[in-house]
Amino acid sequence: MRPSHIIILIVVLVLIFGARRLPDVARSIGQSLKVFKKEVNELQEPAPAVGPAAPAVTAERPAASDPPPPASPPPAGPNPPAV
């Protein structure tokens, strides 16, 4: 990129964001990039070994002789209009 391109880019940014907000925008972008780089580095590091794998926990199915749970009562208040 030539220096004239950089100057035009700066002028356009000042016109869009204004001279007062430009430092805030730059600071916000810098903080976002910092967080993004930190997260990428954490994903690239190998996960530490935590020991032997635990068996998978499965949900218990109710026995066939168990009665079904009671139905919940309808909500109190006026009914919404049908659409």
Question: Domain residues of the chain, as ranges?
Answer: 21-46
As to burial, measured by CB atoms within 10 angstroms (0-12 exposed, 13-18 middle, 19+ buried), residue 19 is: exposed
Tens of pLDDT, residues 33-81: 999 999 999 888 776 666 565 556 666 665 556 666 667 766 666 666 6
Whether residue 6 has pLDDT greater than 70: yes
Question: Are 22 and 13 within 8 A, CB to CB?
Answer: yes
| pLDDT score for 36 | 95
| pLDDT score for 35 | 95
Query: Average per-residue pLDDT in the chain?
Result: 77
